[in-house]
Amino acid sequence: NLEGYVFVMNYRGQAEDENFTYSAVDAAVELGILQGMGAGELDLYRAITRQEAAAMLARTYRAYQSEEPDVLEPVSFTDRADIADWALEDVALMSQLGIMNGVGDGRFDPLGTYTEE
């Protein structure tokens, strides 16, 4: 329960410093879901790519699941070569679990903007 976790972390932190704040973003960083860009710098207000979304969703899945498929099916999207090496396993996991699919014509569109749909 993320809301409860954030509440408890704020309570604990404020016991030592009344100005302490802890947010869902802090929790996501602590859990390794948000890792930032380059030197760990977060840009919370920019659009994210589909491969970045796959990575964050996969990290969330791993943080809450004790198991994942032993063998990931190979990524078969026609634009597989455009998927960054760091995101390939995460795209494979999200695709295999049916959480993220392609955008049509057999493409994943890794650099396309991730939308709320």
Residue 55 lies in a domain: yes
pTM as predicted? 0.80
In a domain, 34, yes or no: no
Q: Domain for residue 7, yes or no? A: no
The number of folded domains in the chain is 1
The angle formed by the CA atoms of residues 82, 98 and 77, to the nearest 5 degrees, is: 25
Does some domain include residue 18?
Answer: no
Q: Is residue 75 part of a domain?
A: yes
Residue 30 lies in a domain: no
- Residues recorded for the chain: 117
Query: Quick check: is 88 in a domain?
Result: yes
Q: How high is the pLDDT of residue 2?
A: 74
100 found inside a domain: yes
Terminal Cα distance for the chain, rounded: 24
Quick: pLDDT tens for 77-95: 999 999 999 999 999 999 9
Domain that residue 117 falls in: 45-117
